[in-house]
């Protein structure tokens, strides 16, 4: 399983019609998976000339991927929340495997979303499809038994966190650490003062960024506690609030949660600008914490799921920390307020600590810079694409 084949021209798969492009299957769920899948598909096409098909969202569609199933059909939150989706997921799996069986792809690529992608991977493996997993399941946090499935079905794991490489190597899964793809893209396109002025905020006053999540389910669970904290912070009349609203979430949906005495400027589709302009941020646990770390923004991390899901997860999660930045650092760099520990009063207290202490902000910025350094120097998508192109059997002319 060579990982160092040189870049190649789009010749044909051995034994196939020379005019027929290589077929590559790709499956991504969630907004982040769609973003990574789009970039990866473009890099793969440049190396192989492949026709790429599978499951994804609008970004992958715009990148030229033939979308057989839209990822929105499986977007769910939590453990118990997924139950009502099981029949739909099974139908999706049948559709994808039927198309894959007919097209016989030279390679299958799974991106994140293990609840769907691992069962899908097992089906593709039985069809004899060569498989790679990019952004692997977080087996170090929960459901460690998944490593047995991956060992059986995967030809290569492409991991984005440095500590993951040894875990997969110890489990005898072929693995390559490629770095985190966000390193190349997390950059604010506007200068702080200019951006704040453009949205009607005062650059001389403290700014708190709010990133409550990207799906209605998680936002509805996270935002009430965030607003309680903001109501307390707003009493001194100086703190300003700006919220990064994920594309697809309606502003009127967000407005229903705004409490009296709190004014929040809502910005759709510009999370990096929102983060970069802030003195500190309240961030929903997940990819956004890595984005905030890369931008060097002091933060408090929050998250809440349903009580039933929390009961189950408490017995499944094996790690000391939930926030990705703390997991990467191996210690508490940012305060985590999760589930019952997530209250408006506690969020307010941590935000006040950061706003009122330049020393506390500077210390956290130093720690976040250390975390960022562990995510690689950039080029993760290109390294992943080169590994994957090397797995595609090309007949050289």
In tens, the pLDDT along 315-371 reads: 555 667 778 899 899 899 999 999 989 999 999 999 999 999 999 999 999 999 999
| Strand 264-268 with 240-245, pairing | parallel
CA distances (Å), 225 to each of 8, 45, 222, in order? 53, 45, 6
Can you give the pTM of this predicted structure? 0.81
CATH level 3 topology of 192-373 = Rossmann fold (3.40.50)
In this prediction, residues 222-239 reach a mean pLDDT of 96
Question: pLDDT digit string (tens) for 7-59?
Answer: 444 444 444 555 678 999 999 987 788 999 999 999 999 999 999 999 999 99
Dist CA 199 CA 180 (whole Å): 31
Q: What percent of the chain has pLDDT over 70?
A: 87
Dist CA 327 CA 371 (whole Å): 9
Dist CA 192 CA 175 (whole Å): 40
Dist CA 166 CA 175 (whole Å): 9
Judged on CB neighbours under 10 Å (0-12, 13-18, 19+), 216 is middle
Would residue 318 be called left, alpha or beta, if left means φ above 0 and alpha means ψ between -120 and 50 degrees?
A: alpha
Per DSSP, the three-state class of 384 is helix
Give the DSSP letter of residue 71: G
Give the DSSP letter of residue 295: T
Give the DSSP letter of residue 73: G
Domain span(s) for CATH 3.40.50.2000 in the chain = 23-179+379-391, 192-373
Which structure tokens are listed for 177? 């650490």
Give the DSSP letter of residue 234: G
**Which residues are CB-contacts of 316 (< 8 A; sequence separation ≥ 6)?**
142, 143
Phi, psi of 177 (to 5 degrees): -85, 120
Question: pLDDT digit string (tens) for 125-138?
Answer: 999 999 999 999 98
CATH level 3 topology of 23-179+379-391 = Rossmann fold (3.40.50)
Among 15-29, 96-110, 115-129, name the one with the lowest average pLDDT.
15-29
């Amino acid at each position: 399983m060579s990982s160092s084949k040189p870049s190649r021209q789009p010749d044909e798969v051995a034994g196939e019609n020379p005019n027929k492009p290589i077929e590559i299957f790709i499956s991504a769920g969630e907004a982040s998976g769609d973003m990574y899948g789009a970039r990866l598909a473009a890099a793969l096409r440049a190396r192989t000339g492949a026709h790429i098909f599978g499951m994804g969202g609008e970004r992958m569609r715009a990148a030229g991927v033939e979308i057989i199933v839209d990822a929105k059909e499986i977007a769910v939150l939590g453990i118990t929340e997924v139950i009502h989706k099981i029949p739909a997921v099974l139908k999706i799996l049948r559709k994808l495997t039927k198309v894959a069986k007919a097209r016989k792809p030279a390679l299958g690529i799974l991106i994140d979303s293990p609840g769907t992608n691992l069962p899908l991977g097992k089906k593709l493996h039985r069809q004899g499809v060569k498989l790679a997993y990019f952004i692997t399941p977080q087996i170090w946090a929960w459901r460690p038994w998944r490593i047995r499935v991956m060992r059986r079905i995967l030809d290569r794991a492409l991991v984005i966190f440095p500590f993951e490489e040894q875990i997969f190597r110890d489990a005898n899964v072929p693995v390559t650490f490629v770095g985190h793809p966000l390193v190349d893209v997390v950059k604010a396109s506007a200068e702080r003062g200019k951006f704040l002025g453009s949205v009607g905020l005062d650059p001389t006053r403290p700014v708190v960024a709010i990133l409550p999540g990207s799906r209605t389910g998680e936002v509805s669970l996270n935002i009430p506690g965030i607003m309680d904290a903001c109501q307390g912070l707003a009493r001194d009349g100086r703190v300003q609030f700006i919220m990064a609203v994920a594309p697809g979430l309606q502003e009127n949906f967000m407005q229903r949660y705004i409490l009296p005495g709190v004014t929040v400027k809502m910005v759709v589709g510009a999370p990096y600008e929102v983060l970069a302009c802030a003195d500190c941020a309240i961030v929903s646990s997940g990819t956004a914490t890595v984005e905030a770390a890369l931008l060097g923004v002091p933060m408090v991390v929050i998250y809440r799921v349903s009580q039933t899901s929390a009961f189950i997860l408490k017995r499944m999660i094996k790690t000391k920390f939930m926030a990705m930045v703390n997991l990467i650092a191996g210690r508490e760099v940012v305060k985590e307020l999760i589930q019952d520990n997530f209250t408006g009063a506690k969020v307010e207290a941590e935000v006040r600590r950061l706003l009122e202490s330049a020393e506390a902000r500077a210390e956290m910025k130093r720690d976040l810079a250390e975390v960022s350094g562990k995510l690689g120097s950039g080029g993760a998508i290109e390294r992943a694409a080169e590994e994957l192109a090397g797995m595609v059997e090309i007949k050289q002319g």
